[in-house]
Amino acid sequence: MTSSLNPAAAAAPAGASSGVLADYRGRLGDHGPDPLLGSDELIAGGDVRPTQLLLADAIEAMGQGGLLAARAETRRLVHDDGIRYGVGGIDGIRDRHWRLDPLPVVLTSEEWSGLERGIQQRATLLAALLEDLYGDRLLLRRGVIPAEVVLGHPGFLRQVDGIRSRGGLVLGAHDLGRDTDGTWRVLADRTSAPSGAGYAMANRRVTTRVLAGLHRSTELARLRGFFHTMSAAVREAAPPTSEVPRVVLLSPGPMSETAYDQSFLASLLGFPLAESDDLMLRNGRVWLRAAGRLEPVDVVLRRVDPEYCDSLDLRADSQLGLPGLVEATRQGNVTVANPLGAQVLENPGLAPFLPAVAQALLGEDLQLAGKPAWWCGDRDGLAHVLANIDRLVLRPIATGGEVEAQLGGHLSAEGRDRLRRRIESEPWAWIGQEPLPLSTTPVVTPTGLTPGRLVLRTFWAERDGERHVMPGGLARAATGPSQLHVSNSGGAIAKDVWVLAPETAEAGWGDPGVRPDLVAVRPRAVVAPRVADNLFWLGRYAERAEAAGRILRVCDDLVEDHAARPGTPGEQAMRALLAAATAITRVPGDPAQPRQHVRTMVSDPLQSGSLRYAADRLGDAAQRVRDQLSQDIWHVLSRLDRTLAHVPSDEHQLQPRLYDVLESLLAVSGVIAESMVRDETWGFLDGGIRLERAQFTVALLASTIAHERPPIIDGQLTEAVLEVGESILTHRRRTVAGEGPVWPIHSAVSLLLLDKGNPRSVAFSVDRLVEDLRLVGDDVLAAKAEALADHIARVDLVEACTGDRSGLGEILAEVRATLHAVSDDLTRRRFARKTSQRTLPISWAVTS
Amino acid sequence: MSQGPEDWTPRQYDVHHRTTYTYEGPVESCFERGFLAPRETPSQRVLSNEVVISPDPQVMTEHVDHFGNHSFYVEIQTAHNELIVEKRSRFEVHWPQPDLAALDRWTVASAAAELLESAEAVERVGHLLPSPLVQPAPEVVDYCRSVIGPDMPLGEAILALTRGIYRDFAYKSGVTTVRTTLPELLELRQGVCQDFAHLAIGCLRSLGLPTRYVSGYLETQPPPGQVKLAGADASHAWASVMVPGGGWVDLDPTNDHLADSRYVVTAWGRDFRDVSPLKGVVFAEAAGASTLNVAVDVTRV
């Protein structure tokens, strides 16, 4: 950012003007008086703000066409990266895509450094406040904060009172808005389990690709360093006894609204994502369950709401935490970050008292404050709030309950009266606060740039007593009618936040955490049973989808050629292969409508054997182990999803679509094979692929060529099977060269069952399975698979194929049985979940 | 249950409390939280306390909780079909008889105002705000006003409420559970000591008087002419209201009088949830049923 800082460029944009900004300027004046609406980030007094010239120039240069193209590109990249938010869809797991605007919010380094100091002070203040509230409670005893405000907040957990949590508040976030006078003010503090840091990084990755040119010409603070600092901060919160601390990010699971943020953050920080089932509490310690062993956990980076973290001491009906976790933190055996009681700081009731708390604890003026607020538990406060109810925001101290914050002016006269009575009946539970008129920022829409009300979430982490602020953040902009809350769940769109580097930027600015890493030896990766299970099924479903794609492609080919010629050998071979496909997929269909049947087998999402079903489950399994996989896989899965979303009707060709599907699935295999280290995780995943392929091939052979048929049909069917098995070319080449067996049946059995050199054969798959089982450390099962390989190697090709081929059928049945047994054993031995947990009945019938 | 001057004399008690959980199928591990040692109070001294748990726990820790109670954490990692938690405590008990007449110089309302001025904020507010099992409800306020009011002398009001609940509700076990709400109780008009304690707490809080829930034991007498059976005593619960001058008055609406030297305290909190005597989580392969058996003996030494 140098040349475009020339103010002349802004003062006279007429020549290059595309009119987009002029339109936007016009829209800024569109609204009537609105207490929730303030200044604009880009335009002031009709002119572009001098700090925003760079962005304004880029906008003008792009024009509406360019902006819409950037918007489309942003969407595509969000889809391809699989960035999601919220839950929805038929099974609750296939969720919505993240909504991101291409235009970043740009903040100068001067402005940022002031804001950063304010954030650091507020973070320091909240940390000290937390310590007092769960310690001596001097602030309550001395009346700096009324006791009702704290003791009446559901985030104040008496169960954790007195626990000295190592590290205290390790991280935090604040939602900020810009007031009309230009100062940033606090809307809400996020201190319990702040979400969004992962989204902020995801936004950056997309935005910098979409606006590559602007990004190149701008010196902006990088985000990466912050995650280094955060990772170190969390590790250093470990109990002092742990030399190489192991951290897990405790997630409520893939059903969580911010599951993407959690798993992406886990990978940015280098911690495994864990769910309750992956952990256990034993001997007052937390352990990560790995097959056959337990690995100690020193820090739990918590994304589960505090009351759900311990079914013994907190909510008894929760399955998301660990009974005994509270006690483990009390004993100092594990650190929970942030501490379980930290939600009390998110209390809106603290707002009126924070300036006094800053004086009491820090002896300083509060730099970054909220709008003025009054507590209704105080006689004067109540009088003021009730007298000004139509212009204030009324906030219950306990948020998240049935009552939400409301703007008095948005209520009907009747609604205001109801609220007034409610406040009068429980005045201590309410505060009234002046509304914050939010600034607006341009959002790209099909009808041009639209002002969106801006809320900025900033993040910090505490390390060595210092609060490090992410030089950027997660911005949200709401273009709809003014509402009190600006949130993703309320339909706001996200924006990247660009903090410009100071003119004198030295290298590494914004990377305060990059320094020699304390932890030279990272703890060995542990694969929890849930993760192993999902990796295994990821492999199986990828392979199942591919196998379905291959057999259905050949079916479709035969149907196109022979369906119209009943009674011909070709038609009979077609029927035989269709019957095999039906047996394998178990998707029923009308034999008189083979074309329709093939399409059902491809696309019916509710039939558990269909190609679409396997592809959907592949996506689900990938979501569940997102932190284990390369980012590249989302691009491919997103394409697969799109391809399968609309399968052509009967009249249109299915083949091109099936080729697309197979191409995507090959890309999946490619990403997996080329991006994963050959360790335990790979063993489970590849084991799933090999087992599935062997089972499919055995089932294919058993339901086709293991039966005696008239030679002319048998020949055609065998060729079709070889084609499904991707071995037809080898067969033909060998036949022509006089190398392979003369009979197609021999060739098929040789290539698809016995040939250790053919990646499509059962023998090859079993050999790989043996290696995979060794990788996961299960020598017993590996030996079992090896015995199967030996058994296959001893099969006499000619003998197996003689007569009515019942010999072949028997061999295949044996192989199939052994493969099933291996799969079952693996499931039982390695994927076992924890036994179920229940709360003992408490009865009070046994009293006098 | 009658009360006479002899009930205010000092004495010693042995309390033996045994809780047995029997499971249909084996339990792999269990986590328990309980108040396995009584707290010291102005009216009682704990002379000894012994805890025996079978099977042997892998972890047993103790801490003083938010309310000053002795809270125990127990973890058992050996498979078992039966869990026995046994506690033997010896107490020296001497409750002073509250001077209700002296309290009558305040009305309920003026006492509340006095406490607002003088009482320690955390203690006062902590026991005045709604708690999980004692939520504000118009039905509770209505009932309360039918018995006592803000202008009544304080001592009189405490006694009237104790009498009122005793009079208006029948003692019957098995009708209510830990999930019964106060409006439901007012509908049912019957319940057990926990229900009556909660109702008293709700009434007193609605008048601005901080009130807590006390969990403990009560020495009982067998019916005339019969021998007291082993294990026939029970744990008990009552309410305790803060009064001006830094004291608390314990009232037992189940038995129609104030607590005397027959009452032994285990723990106190805002309501039952804070001081549930023993609660637990078990991990088991099969979701089998479990039965709970509690035997309590309160023996005068």
| B12-21 tens-digit pLDDT | 999 999 999 9
Closest approach of A21 to chain B, Cα-based (Å):
55
Does position B111 have pLDDT exceeding 50, yes or no?
A: yes
Is it true that the peptide bond before A252 is cis, omega within 30 degrees of 0?
Answer: no
For residue A30, count other CB atoms closer than 10 A to its CB: 8
Own/partner contacts of A825-828, CB < 8 Å, gap of 24 or more, are A825/A781, A825/A784, A826/A536, A826/A687, A826/A773, A826/A778, A826/A781, A827/A533
Answer yes or no: do B279 and A844 touch at CB < 8 A. Answer: no
Answer whether A292 touches B (CB < 8 Å).
Answer: no
Answer yes or no: do A835 and B285 touch at CB < 8 A. Answer: yes
Name the pLDDT band for A505 (thresholds 50, 70, 90). Answer: very low
> How far apart (Å, rounded) are the C-alpha atoms in residues A121 and A556?
68
Note the maximum CA span of chain A.
102
Which residues of B are less than 8 Å from A132 in CB distance? none
> How far apart (Å, rounded) are the C-alpha atoms in residues B30 and A541?
38
Does position A489 have pLDDT exceeding 50, yes or no?
A: yes
Cβ B139 vs Cβ B185: under 8 Å: no
Helix (H/G/I), strand (E/B), else coil: B54: strand
E strand or H helix that includes residue A60 = helix A53-80
> How far apart (Å, rounded) are the C-alpha atoms in residues A799 and A809?
12
Residue ranges of domains in chain B: 8-91+276-300, 100-274
Answer whether A331 touches B (CB < 8 Å).
Answer: yes
> How far apart (Å, rounded) are the C-alpha atoms in residues A66 and A196?
28
> How far apart (Å, rounded) are the C-alpha atoms in residues B192 and B177?
9
Does position A90 have pLDDT exceeding 70, yes or no?
A: no
Question: Chain B window 81-120: which residues touch A at a Cβ cutoff of 8 Å?
Answer: 120
Helix (H/G/I), strand (E/B), else coil: A794: coil
Answer yes or no: do B282 and A143 touch at CB < 8 A. Answer: no
Cβ A714 vs Cβ A745: under 8 Å: yes
Answer yes or no: do A327 and B292 touch at CB < 8 A. Answer: no
Answer whether A330 touches B (CB < 8 Å).
Answer: yes
Answer whether B74 touches A (CB < 8 Å).
Answer: no
pLDDT value at residue A841: 64
What would the DSSP string read from start to end of A568-603?
SHHHHHHHHHHHHHHHHH-----TT-HHHHHHHHHH
Which residues of A are less than 8 Å from B178 in CB distance? 842-844
In the block, residue with structure tokens 């996200």:
A494
What is the β-pairing status of strands A393-396 and B290-300? unpaired
Answer whether B240 touches A (CB < 8 Å).
Answer: no
> How far apart (Å, rounded) are the C-alpha atoms in residues A517 and B253?
65
Q: Which of A205, A189, A256 is nearest to A472 (CA)?
A: A205
Answer whether B75 touches A (CB < 8 Å).
Answer: yes
Burial A806-825 (b: 16+ CB within 10 A, else e): ebbbebbeebbebbeebbee
pLDDT value at residue B285: 81
Q: Which of A430, A431, A426, A424 is nearest to A372 (CA)?
A: A431
Does position B253 have pLDDT exceeding 90, yes or no?
A: yes
Q: Which of A558, A696, A847 is nearest to B272 (CA)?
A: A847
> How far apart (Å, rounded) are the C-alpha atoms in residues B210 and B111?
11
Q: Check the CA dihedral A605-A606-A609-A613 and report its sign.
A: positive
Answer whether B280 touches A (CB < 8 Å).
Answer: yes
> How far apart (Å, rounded) are the C-alpha atoms in residues A431 and A373?
7
Helix (H/G/I), strand (E/B), else coil: A380: helix
Does position A173 have pLDDT exceeding 60, yes or no?
A: yes
Answer whether A282 touches B (CB < 8 Å).
Answer: yes
> How far apart (Å, rounded) are the C-alpha atoms in residues B259 and B94?
11
Q: Which two tokens stand for residue A62?
A: 């792009």
Answer yes or no: do B193 and A284 touch at CB < 8 A. Answer: no
Answer whether A837 touches B (CB < 8 Å).
Answer: yes
E strand or H helix that includes residue A836 = strand A836-839
Does position A596 have pLDDT exceeding 70, yes or no?
A: yes
Does position A507 have pLDDT exceeding 90, yes or no?
A: no
pLDDT value at residue A103: 98
Phi, psi at residue A555, to the nearest 5°?
Answer: -55, -50
Q: How far is CA A518 from the centre of its chain?
A: 28
Phi, psi at residue A518, to the nearest 5°?
Answer: -60, -35
Domain B8-91+276-300 -> CATH class? mainly beta
Question: Chain A window 418-447: which residues touch B at a Cβ cutoff of 8 Å?
Answer: 426, 428
Does position A213 have pLDDT exceeding 80, yes or no?
A: yes
For residue A848, give the nearest of B63, B64, B234 by CB distance. B234
Answer yes or no: do A323 and B126 touch at CB < 8 A. Answer: no
| Across B116-134, average pLDDT | 96
Is it true that the peptide bond before A338 is cis, omega within 30 degrees of 0?
Answer: yes
Answer yes or no: do A331 and B218 touch at CB < 8 A. Answer: no
Q: What would you report as the CA-atom Rg of chain A, rounded to the nearest whole angstrom? A: 32
- Mutation target for A interface from B61, B129, B195, B268: give the one with most A CBs within 10 A: B129
Burial A269-289 (b: 16+ CB within 10 A, else e): bbbbbbbbbbbbbbebbbbbb
Which residues are CB-neighbours of A354 under 8 A, at least 6 positions away? A125, A366, A369, A370
Q: Which two tokens stand for residue A293?
A: 């062993």
pLDDT value at residue A172: 98
Give chain A's mean pLDDT. 90
The CATH architecture annotation of domain B100-274 reads Roll (3.10)
Counting Cβ atoms within 10 Å, is residue B74 exposed (0-12), middle (13-18) or buried (19+)?
buried
> How far apart (Å, rounded) are the C-alpha atoms in residues A301 and A303?
7
Which residues of A are less than 8 Å from B295 in CB distance? none
Domains of chain A, earliest start first: 3-97 (no CATH), 373-435 (3.30.1490.270), 527-675 (no CATH), 677-832 (no CATH)
Which residues are CB-neighbours of B85 under 8 A, at least 6 positions away? B18, B19, B32, B34, B36, B51, B53, B74, B278
E strand or H helix that includes residue A495 = strand A493-499
Q: Which of A146, A201, A508, A496 is nearest to A352 (CA)?
A: A146
For residue A284, give the nearest of B59, B130, B274 by CB distance. B59
Span B54-108, pLDDT tens digits: 999 999 999 999 999 999 999 999 999 999 999 999 999 999 999 999 999 999 9
Which residues of B are less than 8 Å from A312 in CB distance? 31-33, 279-281
Answer yes or no: do B290 and A841 touch at CB < 8 A. Answer: yes
Note the maximum CA span of chain B.
62
Highest mean pLDDT among A175-184, A483-492, A674-683: A175-184
- Give percent of chain A above pLDDT 90: 73
Which residues of B are less than 8 Å from A842 in CB distance? 178, 276, 278-279
Lowest mean pLDDT among A262-276, A499-513, A531-545, A760-774: A499-513
Q: Which two tokens stand for residue A2?
A: 């140098």
pLDDT value at residue A45: 86
Span A544-565, pLDDT tens digits: 999 999 999 999 999 999 999 9
Answer whether B61 touches A (CB < 8 Å).
Answer: yes
For residue B122, give the nearest of A147, A284, A840 by CB distance. A147
Answer yes or no: do A837 and B282 touch at CB < 8 A. Answer: yes
Answer whether B192 touches A (CB < 8 Å).
Answer: yes
Which residues of A are less than 8 Å from B282 in CB distance? 837-838, 840
pLDDT value at residue A17: 65
Q: Give CA torsion, residues A27, A29, A30, A36, to 10 deg.
A: 110
Answer whether B67 touches A (CB < 8 Å).
Answer: yes
Name the pLDDT band for A245 (thresholds 50, 70, 90). Answer: very high
What would the DSSP string read from start to end of B76-119?
E-S-EEEEEEEEEEEEEE-PPPP-HHHHTTSBHHHHHHHHHHHS
Answer whether A294 touches B (CB < 8 Å).
Answer: no
pLDDT value at residue A527: 86
Answer yes or no: do B122 and A283 touch at CB < 8 A. Answer: no
Q: Which two tokens stand for residue B228?
A: 């007291």
Answer whether B166 touches A (CB < 8 Å).
Answer: no
Cβ A104 vs Cβ A55: under 8 Å: yes
Q: What residues does A454 pair with on adjacent strands?
A: A477
Number of residues in chain A: 848
For residue A147, give the nearest of B67, B73, B125 by CB distance. B125
Half-sphere exposure of B166 (CA within 13 A, CB side): 17
Cβ A289 vs Cβ A279: under 8 Å: yes
Helix (H/G/I), strand (E/B), else coil: A241: coil
pLDDT value at residue A46: 85
- Mutation target for B interface from A141, A159, A848: give the one with most B CBs within 10 A: A848
| Across A751-778, average pLDDT | 95
- At CA A587, angle to CA A584 and CA A591, rounded to 5? 100
3-state SS string over A162-182? CCCCCCCCCEEEEEEEECCCC
Span A442-457, pLDDT tens digits: 999 999 999 999 999 9
| Pairs across A and B, CB distance < 8 A | 140
Closest approach of B153 to chain A, Cα-based (Å):
25
Q: Which of B41, B85, B52, B54 is nearest to B215 (CA)?
A: B41
For residue B31, give the nearest of A143, A324, A848 by CB distance. A324
Answer whether A398 touches B (CB < 8 Å).
Answer: no
Cβ B258 vs Cβ B252: under 8 Å: yes
Q: Which of A772, A773, A763 is nearest to A815 (CA)?
A: A763
Question: Chain B window 197-236: which residues touch A at a Cβ cutoff of 8 Å?
Answer: 218, 220, 233-236
Answer yes or no: do B125 and A148 touch at CB < 8 A. Answer: yes
